[in-house]
Amino acid sequence: MQIFRRLIVSVALATSLLGLSVSPSDASTKGPEGLADGPGIWVNMWNYPQGDVKAYCESLHAKGIRNIFLQTSRSNTEAITHPEQLGALIDASHFYKIRVIAWSFAELTNPSSDADKLIAAARFLSPTGQHLDALAANMEKNLDQVKVESYSKRMRDAVGANFPMVAVVYSPLNGAPQVAHIPWKTLDHYYDVIAPMNYWNSKYKKLDAYDYTVSTVRRVRELCGRPDVEIHVIGDGMGTHADTIVPFFKACQDAEVTSASIYPNYKMTAEQMDCASQYSNYFPVNSRFRLAAFKQLRKQGSLKGPDNNDPSSAISRGEFYSLLVHQLYPNKFGQDLTGAQAMPILSKAGAGNYIAQLTEGGDLEAVLRSPITSSEALQVVAKLIDKNGELAAPGEIKVATPAPGVKKHSRGGAWLVQPAYAAEGKTAQSTRAVNYLDAAQIVLQASSALR
């Protein structure tokens, strides 16, 4: 049985989970969809691409760039500094499936005026009638809660609940005095994505890119107070090279960041572009789906953890078994179902022999507390799918019986997806501990086959 075959997620499921939005200015026009899976680059208003923007976007697409963060204003400029170039770049970027996110540097001396600049960007139309894909509010000054909330609320009220907004702020590890004033819970309330400026190449002190990135991500989750906050990390491209950018991407992988970008000195160097082109070696191809799946299962109460607000931490066997039961029998069991209580239910549903092998001869409580590997998790789900005909209620499991002489088709292999990174081989994937995002992806993608 080929239980590691990749499942192609249906468009309908991905769309419903990710909540694609409607434009605030014209409901008849397809609205923005926020950030794309894939790397991003930052462009300030002094270095818009010149000349053939279609060729420029084609070259970005060839390197795998999927997001352009394009500065449209700052506090002391007009709302749209280069309207003609902006319109052309939106059309060319969308032709190559690259999303364009408008960003503005807001000093927040006048929060209403600063907000109005990005509101104007949200309502901007390209020559072909296309919108920007999201807004990114860069806040580095006057970060007291009252001003940040006034600015953020004005934007959110104007563009609506479904227009994607990104909060760009310092890493919480940055030593600047204003960092202590960042109102993280307020940002989490108004913005869809938190994007810390993760700059390790300080002129005062050289930091370890890997450690700084992992610590930044963990601290943002802790300050926001929830594990399913979407985090986009802005990497340091100011004089940096592959020796630190590669560890930065590796840290993003290990911390289970949803996406990342690089902010350059002026323009991305060829070396930095080459690093960005290796992005898929470190990020799953469906990072945003994984996070959406995790949010969905937490919202419906099927998945309670992690207690430490870190979804990159390993899920235990017991938690995974409980999650599977909740998906097999929605609303049949309370949220406090333990792994030990889930085991006999899964055994009756068809995974009994495999689960018995895993727990045989050991301390059951210790086994249920220990992490589960990708291979084990997929085997359990595969057994359930193969035995699963029509599930009515606990104790009423019906297993489809093939006609005499007809070989039974294994459905487990067709439905399962291995949470995978391009840089990992199949052996490494199968022995890798399943984290909470892996578990959400595996279970939610197999849900329709488990019912």
What pLDDT sits at residue 115?
98
Distance CA 309, CA 226 (A): 6
Structure-token match 């892996």, residue found = 438
Give the model's confidence band at 388: pLDDT under 50 very low, under 70 low, under 90 confident, else very high: low
pLDDT, one tens digit per residue, over 166-188 is: 999 999 999 999 999 999 999 99
Instruction: Count CB neighbours of 444 within 10 A.
Output: 25
Residue with tokens 């959110």: 156
Residue 32's pLDDT is what?
A: 67
pLDDT digits (tens, 9 = 90+) for 122-159: 999 999 999 999 999 999 999 999 999 999 999 999 99
- State the Rg of the chain over Cα: 24
pLDDT at position 256 is: 95
Eight-class DSSP state of 276: H
CA atoms of 225 and 307, how far apart (whole Å): 11
Residue at 207: amino acid letter: L
Per-residue pLDDT of 315-360, as tens digits, reads 999 999 999 999 888 888 888 899 999 999 998 888 888 888 877 7
Please give the pLDDT value at position 29.
37
Q: What is the pLDDT of residue 31?
A: 54
Q: What is the pLDDT confidence band of residue 416, given thresholds at 50, 70 and 90?
A: very low
Q: What is the model's pLDDT at position 429? A: 56
3-state class of 288 per DSSP? helix
pLDDT value at position 401? 35
pLDDT value at residue 22: 30
Backbone angles phi, psi at 296, to 5 degrees: -60, -45
- Work out the average pLDDT over 193-200: 97
Beta-carbon contacts of 156 under 8 Å, excluding residues fewer than 6 positions away, are 165, 190
- Beta partners for residue 235, in sequence order: 198, 262
- Kindly report the average pLDDT of the chain as a whole number: 84
Question: CA-to-CA distance for 418 and 356, rounded, in angstroms?
Answer: 23
Q: Hey, which residues does 99 pair with through a beta bridge?
A: 67
Predicted confidence at residue 240, as pLDDT, reads 95
User: What is the per-residue pLDDT for 353?
Assistant: 80
Question: Which residues make Cβ contacts (< 8 Å) with residue 424, sequence separation at least 6?
Answer: 432
b/e 190-229 (16+ beta carbons within 10 angstroms → b) = bbbbbbbbbbbbeeeeebebbebbbbbbbebbebbeebbb
Residue 402: cis peptide before it, omega within 30 degrees of 0:
no
Torsion of CA 287, 103, 109, 232, to 10 degrees: 20
Strands 397-398 and 390-391: antiparallel
The four Cα atoms 140, 145, 147, 153 give a dihedral, to 10 degrees, of 110
Query: Which two structure tokens, joined as six digits, stand for 365?
Result: 């409580």
Identify the band that residue 225 occupies on the pLDDT scale cut at 50, 70 and 90.
very high
Whether 293 has a pLDDT exceeding 50, the answer reads yes
**Residue ranges of domains in the chain:** 32-283, 294-449
Q: What is the model's pLDDT at position 451?
A: 63
The CATH number for 32-283, chosen from 3.30.70.20, 3.40.50.300, 3.20.20.80, 3.40.50.12500, is 3.20.20.80
180 Cα distance to chain centroid: 26
> How much is the pLDDT for 4?
29
The confidence band for 286, taking pLDDT boundaries of 50, 70 and 90, is confident
406, with CB counted inside 10 A (0-12, 13-18, 19+), is exposed
Can you name the residues that pair with 106 across neighbouring β-strands? Answer: 139
Q: Using one digit for the tens of pLDDT, what is the confidence trace for 58-92?
A: 999 999 999 999 999 999 999 999 999 999 999 99
Look at residue 387 in the predicted model and tell me its pLDDT: 74
- CB atoms under 10 Å from CB of 421, counted, come to 16
pLDDT in tens, 44-59: 999 999 999 999 999 9
CB atoms under 10 Å from CB of 62, counted, come to 11
Measured CA to CA, the distance from residue 359 to residue 353 in angstroms comes to: 10
Mean pLDDT score, 254-277: 95
The predicted structure's pLDDT at residue 75: 97
CA 420 to chain centre: 15
- What pLDDT band is residue 430 in, cutting at 50, 70 and 90? low
**201 and 236 in contact (C-beta within 8 Å)?**
yes
* Residue 306 banded pLDDT, cuts 50, 70, 90: very high
Model pLDDT, residue 27: 30
